Amino acid sequence: MSHEAFRALLSEFRDEALPAARRQEVAAHVADCASCRAELRDWDRLANAFLRRPIEPAAGETERFVRAVMARLPEPEPARVPFWETLSAAWLVPAFGAACAALLLSFAPSGPRYASAEPLFVADGQDVVIAPAARPASSGLDETLGLGDDAQ
Amino acid sequence: MIADEQTTDAELIELVLAGRQEAYSALVRRHHPRVMSLCVSMLGDRALAEDAAQDVFLKAYRRLRDFRGDAAFSTWLYRVASNRCLDLLRSAARRKEDSWESFVEREGDGVRRLLAESASERPLMDEDADLVRRVLGRLPEDYRLILTLREVEGLDYRELMDALDCSLDSVKAKLRRAREKFREILRHIEPSRDV
């Protein structure tokens, strides 16, 4: 490898990011090359001078920071709960009662009893006279009692 | 107490998404130092960095449902923080960049002092932050970001890929170019050197 090829690997060499075999090759070159050693030394000086970690925040500073951030957070979104988990006994019981009531009503007779085709009166052997004005128009009562038009 | 040291980030996120907003405070407390460190390193101003860090946690909260857990939550936060810092740097009023001559004339002594102290392990003091900001300000924003994530925050290449949403080859190439560009500063500060 040429000097320039080794030089191109110095950055990875410094970061210990080369495979072991390649690292040994570069290390051997650096041991013999003043220019590459100078470059590595310069990077160390620059990093140590200008890329130092700032002073760590004190514990009190962190707590103040945490409070400041928490105060700026938006209102929490309500948690996403599946529909079936929203069913609770509080309204499930009356809902169940209402469903049962509706079921019972669906089996009940749908109309008033006098609308039935069965006779409303049973003759007891005596003549029954119904004035024409009082007769229902089409109640079927005349036929039931044998009071057709001929009987009048 | 909704969370302790053993509660994982994933468990806390699940609690927050289930409506336990207070669980988010544990996530903020846990990750505040990292986010703040990145923002200070990138923006060079502690007050500005704190505002930016708050914005980062607010944005992360709103987008928490988008976090799929492919990468660590901390790496995902670095991505949110990186984007916020880049937005701020890019939208800042761009001043006309000094020539290298005037930069060296004005900042040379301070830069040389920091270079002389570079062997020390002490963290960067606030009084040096402004000088460092001006030095790093001579780098393109994306170079500055990748150098900060690698050198200050210690992200490995896989984490850099996730934080910057780019390929491994892109991470390698960008880091190499950023370091070469950064090294130019020595050519101007120490002109007698052969670099």
Query: What ipTM is given for this predicted complex?
Result: 0.85
Site from B28, B43, B55, B189 to mutate, A interface, most A CB atoms within 10 angstroms: B28
SS3 (DSSP) at A91 = helix
SS3 (DSSP) at B124 = strand
Contact B29 A63 (CB under 8 A): yes
Contact B32 A66 (CB under 8 A): yes
Contact B45, B137 (CB under 8 A): no
pLDDT score, position A38 = 94
Contact A20, A13 (CB under 8 A): no
Which of B25, B33, B126 has its CB closest to that of A70? B25
Q: B107: which strand partners?
A: none
Give chain B's length.
195
Contact B118 A49 (CB under 8 A): yes
pLDDT score, position A87 = 61
Residues of A within 8 A of B24 (CB-CB) are 69-70, 73
In the structure, what pLDDT confidence band is assigned to residue B131 with cuts at 50, 70 and 90?
Answer: confident
Place of tokens 């210690």: B154
Residues of B within 8 A of A68 (CB-CB) are 54
Q: Which two tokens stand for residue B55?
A: 């914005």
Which of B54, B123, B183 has its CB closest to that of A69? B54
Which of A8, A42, A65 has its CB closest to that of B50? A65
pLDDT score, position B38 = 95
Scanning every residue of chain B, which has its alpha carbon at the shortest distance from the alpha carbon of A54?
B124
Tell me how close the Cα of B93 comes to any Cα of chain A, in angstroms: 23
pLDDT score, position A132 = 53
Give the mean model confidence (pLDDT) for residues B121-138: 78
pLDDT score, position B1 = 59
pLDDT above 60 (res B135): yes
Contact B4, B11 (CB under 8 A): no
Give pLDDT < 50 ranges for chain A. 114-116, 134-135, 148, 150-152
Tell me how close the Cα of B78 comes to any Cα of chain A, in angstroms: 15
B63-107 pLDDT, tens digit each = 999 998 888 999 999 999 999 999 999 887 565 677 888 888 888
Query: What is the DSSP track for A31-81?
Result: HH-HHHHHHHHHHHHHHHHHSPPBPPPPHHHHHHHHHHHHHHSPPPPPP--
∠ CA B92-B159-B63, rounded to 5°: 60
> The dihedral of CA B184, B119, B33, B75: what is its sign?
positive
B159-183 pLDDT, tens digit each = 999 999 999 999 999 999 999 999 9
Q: Which two tokens stand for residue A12?
A: 């990875």
Residues of A within 8 A of B117 (CB-CB) are 49
